[in-house]
Amino acid sequence: MIPAPFEYAAADSAEHALELLATFGDDAKLLAGGHSLLPMMKLRLAYPSALIDIGHLRELAGIRADGDELVIGATTCHADIADSELVRSQAPLLAHAAAQVGDPQIRHRGTIGGSLAHADPAADLPMALVALGGSVEIIGPDGTRTATADAFFTGFLETSLEPGELLSAVRVPSTPGVGWGYQKFVRRANDWAIVGVAATGGRIALANMGPVPIRARAAEQALADGASPAEAAGLAAEGTAPTEDIHADRTYRQHLARVLTRRALEHQAG
C-alpha cells in the first residue's frame, strides 16, 4: 500500500536531473507524474533507492510544431495532449490515445514520457507511437540521441533507455487529414486494453499482443498490396504469441486482433 523508503531530489533542470541520476546510481528512477511508477512502488513491485523529480520542469513540458513533426515534452500530461488543439489537428490519433489512458484523474498526472518509458505493451501511448511511426529524444551524459518507436521498445516493460538517460521529448509526424483508426477493447472503461489496435498511414500497431507494441506487418503488407481492410485484417495476428490471462486466452486474443484491426481500418476518422 505504501512504498518502501527512498531518497528524493527535485531536479531544477534536465541537466541537473542527469547529474542526480549519475549521483544516485542505477537504482534511482525519474519521477514525472508517477502514475506508472508509484503504483508499482506502492505494491512493492519496484524498490528504487531514489526518485528524481522532473515533473515540474517546464523545459520538459509543452507541445510545439517543428516542421513536419510535433514535438511533445516528456512531462506533458495525457490530459494536455488530449485537449491540445495542435495535437488534435495535426496528430489526432495521439490526442485520442491520450484521452483513453485510465481515467480523468490519471490523465491529469500521467505523462507521455513516463508512459513510454514504462513501456507497458497494453498501454495506449506506446501503441500510438508505434502506429504513428514517431520517435523519442533521449538526453544522457553522452549527449542527445533519438530512437524510433519501432526500436525503442525492447521487451516487456523494457526500453532502449540506458541507466543515466532521460527521455526528454516525443516526436510524431504531423499528418492532418490522414485517416486513423483506434480500437481499445476493454471490459471496464478505465482498464488497460485486452487487445488494442491503432492504424494510420498504412501502419498498424497492436497493444497487448506481445511483450512490446507490435506492428501487424503481414496485415500492413497486404494493405500495401491492395487488399481490402477485411482481407488485411485477417492477417493481423500473424506471428503473434500473445500471453494468456484472466480476460483472454491466446486464441481469443488473436481473434480480437483481427476483428479490431478490421474495425480500425474500416472506421477511420479524419
Residues lying near another protein in the complex (CB under 8 A) are found at: 1-8, 10, 31, 34-35, 38-39, 42-44, 51, 53, 55-56, 79, 102-106, 108-109, 185, 187-191, 194, 246-249, 252, 255-256, 259-260
In three-state secondary structure terms, 77 is: strand
Q: How far is CA 200 from its chain centroid?
A: 16
Question: Whole-number minimum distance, CB 201 to another protein, in Å?
Answer: 25
The contacts of residue 158 (CB under 8 Å, 6+ apart) are 119
The contacts of residue 116 (CB under 8 Å, 6+ apart) are 125, 126, 129, 136, 152, 159, 167, 170
Question: Whole-number minimum distance, CB 140 to another protein, in Å?
Answer: 24
Q: Which amino acid does the sequence have at 175?
A: T
Question: Whole-number minimum distance, CB 122 to another protein, in Å?
Answer: 11
Among residues 11, 1, 2, 4, the alpha carbon closest in space to that of 168 is found at: 11
Question: Whole-number minimum distance, CB 143 to another protein, in Å?
Answer: 29
Contact between residue 208 and residue 195 where contact means Cβ atoms under 8 Å apart: yes
Among residues 217 and 250, whose Cβ is nearest to another protein?
250
Dump strand ranges (E) for the chain.
7-10, 28-31, 50-53, 63-66, 69-73, 135-140, 143-148, 153-155, 158-159, 166-173, 180-185, 195-200, 203-207, 214-215
Question: Whole-number minimum distance, CB 180 to another protein, in Å?
Answer: 20
Among residues 52 and 132, whose Cβ is nearest to another protein?
52
245: its cell numbers: 490471462
Q: First vs last Cα of the chain: how many Å apart?
A: 43
Question: Whole-number minimum distance, CB 37 to another protein, in Å?
Answer: 10
Contact between residue 28 and residue 11 where contact means Cβ atoms under 8 Å apart: no
Question: Whole-number minimum distance, CB 68 to another protein, in Å?
Answer: 31
